[in-house]
Structure 1
Amino acid sequence: MIDAVVDISHHQQMTVDFVAVASSGILGVIHKATEGLDFTDPMYASRKPLALREGLLWGAYHMGHNEDGAAQAEFFLKTVQPGPTDLLALDFEDLYKGAEYNMTLQQAEDFVQAVQQATGRYPGLYALNDYLLQNGAQNSAILQQCWLWIAQPDDEAEPSHPAQWSTWTLWQHTNGKPGVGVPPFAVDGIGLCDRDFFNGSADDLRRLWGVAPAS
């Protein structure tokens, strides 16, 4: 297990020093790209080449809304224009705006299927364990094809996950905010941010990204 991935968005400081990020031991960056059917993260496009220039693995995530799932996938993919080494993920969570705003299970399935059909690979699925169970994700044969990215901040224990997934792949163990248990961890070049354990080695991480292991 290695603590070598961060996930960021426009909420982080305007200037991210990716030279410092890479020097701090971070290997991969997953950046918010889109949300719903019409929001594009204003920092996504400009940060990607800067991160890649420093040899960082690059990924993109979409925050799901209660809107057509396939249409959201089309918007996401049009924005990201993913190559074979761009990691993709769906953020499936409670938006805390009222249940009517949250992506439904069916919409999540439609999103995942559309991404798989367009790219030939399943995206990751980011969620709290309880949220997956509450929404019946453990019963979805489609969502079970996704690698699992569990959010369980402020906890030193390994994350819980539905038994239908044999294991978790990424664990967001701190959300960059003070809390109980694990303190927030800053990253050089970013400051406080979401940090993620990867359930494997550095070479395994590169394989997840579609990149050959380091020689």
Structure 2
Amino acid sequence: MLNAVVDISHYTTITSWAAVGQAGILGVIAKATQGASYVDPTFAQHKAQCEAAGLAFGAYHFGTAGDPVAQADRFLATAGDTQLLVLDFESNPQGQSMSLIEAEQFVHEIYVRTGRYPGLYSGNDVRQAFSSAGITQPGQTELSKCWLWIAQYATAPLVPPVWPAWTLWQYTDGAAGQGPYTVDGIGRCDRSQFNGTADQLAAFWNGPPPVSTRA
């Protein structure tokens, strides 16, 4: 495992991108959008600064209840040429949460538009959604075609049965879970392990070539 990924948003203060890279961080995933209209005001700056520092950059969308196609539109328009994309599927503390069906429709739209499925970030929320829907096999949900970014602040992540393994494991939010909690240039932050080597992380971040999709 490789402890080399952080995720950030407008709540995160970066004091030195150089220090972030020197601390061993190889990849950064930033919040881009939420719902169908909200754009994180720091996303464009984070993208430019992260790429200038030579770090791999990704974007995530916080899903909410509502039109998943409109949410995908906003996300893709904001993410631009960002290759690594993620759906954040968790309870919405500010309103209605995205449903399982909406999440499936969202990732399907991303696939149709880009030729690649996004990653799925979640913890107990996706496990509970699968349990409520009686989903135990990969063929029962399109979410199984996404790579898994599991959030679980325990000694080891528990992977839902529709995935063979996790790709990223967010093991701490900077306080809960086991350390290390901090990164030079950021301080306490969300940190994730990658299930592989540095070479495998670089290959994963670029992803396979897009497959042909309908217009």
| TM-score for the superposition, normalised by structure 2 | 0.88
Percent pairwise identity: 47
Task: Work out which of the residue numbers 70, 76, 87 in structure 2 matches 1:90.
Answer: 87
Paired residues in the alignment total: 202
Question: Match of 1:168, SS?
Answer: coil
| Counterpart for residue 101 of structure 2 | 106
Residue pairs, 1:1-215, within 5 angstroms: 1-13=1-13, 15-83=14-82, 86-97=83-94, 101-128=96-123, 130-136=124-130, 138=136, 140-153=140-153, 155-156=154-155, 158-177=156-175, 179=176, 181-183=177-179, 185-210=181-206
Question: Match of 1:58, SS?
Answer: strand
**By how many angstroms is 1:184 displaced?**
5.7
For structure 2, list consecutive stretches of 5 or more residues without a partner in the other structure: 209-215
For structure 1, list consecutive stretches of 5 or more residues without a partner in the other structure: none
Q: Would the aligned equivalents of 2:171 and 2:191 in 1 still touch at CA under 8 Å? A: yes
User: Which residue identity does 1:2 align to in structure 2?
Assistant: L
User: Which residue identity does 2:169 align to in structure 1?
Assistant: W
Q: Would the aligned equivalents of 2:104 and 2:141 in 1 still touch at CA under 8 Å? A: no
Q: Would the aligned equivalents of 1:151 and 1:173 in 2 still touch at CA under 8 Å? A: yes
| TM-score for the superposition, normalised by structure 1 | 0.88
Q: Would the aligned equivalents of 1:175 and 1:184 in 2 still touch at CA under 8 Å? A: no
In 2, the alpha carbon distance for the partners of 1:120 and 1:16 equals 36
In 1, the alpha carbon distance for the partners of 2:91 and 2:191 equals 20
In 2, the alpha carbon distance for the partners of 1:25 and 1:9 equals 20
Q: 1:117 to 1:211 in 2, by over 3 A?
A: closer
In 2, the alpha carbon distance for the partners of 1:29 and 1:171 equals 14
In 2, the alpha carbon distance for the partners of 1:69 and 1:149 equals 20
Q: Deviations over 1:98-149 (max 9, x none)?
A: 6xx0000111011101111111100000000x32121126554310000000
In 2, the alpha carbon distance for the partners of 1:127 and 1:21 equals 25
**By how many angstroms is 1:211 displaced?**
6.9
User: Which residue identity does 1:174 align to in structure 2?
Assistant: T
Q: Would the aligned equivalents of 1:151 and 1:172 in 2 still touch at CA under 8 Å? A: yes
Question: Match of 1:135, SS?
Answer: helix
In 1, the alpha carbon distance for the partners of 2:188 and 2:76 equals 28
In 1, the alpha carbon distance for the partners of 2:58 and 2:144 equals 20
Q: 1:199 to 1:81 in 2, by over 3 A?
A: same
